[in-house]
Amino acid sequence: MTDKTLSEEELVALIGAYGADPEAWPEATRAAAGAALALPSPAVSEALAEARALDALLADLPEFRPPAGLAKRILADAPSPPRAAGGVWRRLKERALPGGQLWPAGAALASLVMGLLIGLNLPATSAGEADEDAEAAIYAALGVDTFGVSLDEELLR
Amino acid sequence: MSYVSEASEIARAASGDRSAQAALVHRHMPRAYALARRMLRDDAEAEDVTQEAFLRAWKAMPDWQPRARFSTWLHRVVLNLCYDRLRKHRETLMAEPPERVDPAPKPDEAVEQTQRMAHLSAAIDALPERQRAALSLCALDGRSNIEAAEIMEVSVEALESLLARARRTLKTKLKPVRETSDDR
């Protein structure tokens, strides 16, 4: 029903389907509704009166309100934000390579290798000394001052 | 809300944005629930259907195409879920029709109004499913004829016919009540 003018029959049909308020009618028919409704017609008047009575009843009908907690339950089913890829490996990498820089880990590895090489190439005089030398090499590689430790041990004896 | 901003909100909801998800639920859930409740005439079933419809929405969101408004899509899902449930329960419902309150005339105006509403609710509940859906969407939820027809997946002409039949049935059923109250 998109005609610019509405016949009495069309008007009664519109009222019968959508009620008495032209605001509830299809948009295309609203413009023509004002003029058509102004025309005297017992059939239209009767349809309007009946529709108004039903509209008033429908408007008073209480709304159905959703139960408490339904929104929360619906949101509990909603997708979660994606987890960052990598998990444990990524966290370890971040610790070992802060800011993605390689030099701290590289420097630690290089000093460990150098210390081990030096320690292993020292001549062993006795089993005890060899052990001490090896220990000293490892401590040196790890950056521990074994001389200071030895002094402390001497003082404690 | 425009299609573009709605699509962006749906994309954010799909990627886990809690505020976008909450906005969608708060905007659409009450009307979806009301439609389910009107169709199913049962609180718990209406709640289940609303939750199920949103579950389907969350699943559909990653591949969402803004061909229809979210509201139209969601209410169509709600309505189809209601039709499914009604189909399953039809035999039970027909074997045991729900009790209707027969409003006896009482002088108190508030009681009279409550009875009128109970009578109207019972008359709406007794409408055939598709007429009840059409009336709920247009007369009670205030949707346009085009959107209601899209939700129901019928032509606008078919929707008008359903609406006209629903209103005619209600007028006939409510006439004795209206006449009784007019006589007093």
- Put simply, the answer to whether B25 touches A77 (Cβ < 8 Å) is no
Task: Please determine, for residue B146, whether its predicted confidence score (pLDDT) is greater than 80.
Answer: yes
- Put simply, the answer to whether B15 touches A82 (Cβ < 8 Å) is yes
* Structural contact between residues A112 and A144, judged by C-beta atoms closer than 8 angstroms: no
* Structural contact between residues B66 and B2, judged by C-beta atoms closer than 8 angstroms: no
Q: Is the torsion defined by CA of B62, B63, B68, B72 positive or negative?
A: negative
pLDDT category, B68, cuts 50, 70, 90? confident
Q: How far apart are CA A31 and CA B76, in angstroms?
A: 30
* Amino acid B47: pLDDT: 98
Whole-number percent of chain B with pLDDT over 90 = 70
- Put simply, the answer to whether B51 touches A16 (Cβ < 8 Å) is no
Give the number of C-alpha atoms closer than 13 A to the C-alpha of residue A89, restricted to the C-beta side.
2
* Amino acid A3: pLDDT: 46
- For the stretch A51-81, pLDDT in tens is 999 999 999 998 999 999 999 999 999 999 8
Task: Please determine, for residue A100, whether its predicted confidence score (pLDDT) is greater than 70.
Answer: no
Chain B residues with CB-CB distance to A24 below 8 A = 138-139, 142
Q: What is the mean pLDDT of residues B121-130?
A: 95
Q: Give the closest of A51, A61, A67 to B47, CB-based.
A: A67
Which of A12, A72, A74, A83 should be substituted to probe chain B, the one whose Cβ sees the most B Cβ atoms within 10 Å? A74
First CA to last CA distance, chain A: 110
User: What is the value of pTM for the model shown?
Assistant: 0.70
* Structural contact between residues B98 and B125, judged by C-beta atoms closer than 8 angstroms: yes
Q: How far apart are CA A149 and CA A75, in angstroms?
A: 62
- Chain A CA closest to residue B57: A78
Q: Give the closest of A64, A75, A81 to B33, CB-based.
A: A64
pLDDT category, A146, cuts 50, 70, 90? low
- For the stretch B74-86, pLDDT in tens is 999 999 999 999 9
Task: Please determine, for residue A37, whether its predicted confidence score (pLDDT) is greater than 90.
Answer: no
* Structural contact between residues B120 and A58, judged by C-beta atoms closer than 8 angstroms: yes
* Amino acid A94: pLDDT: 59
3-state secondary structure of A48: helix
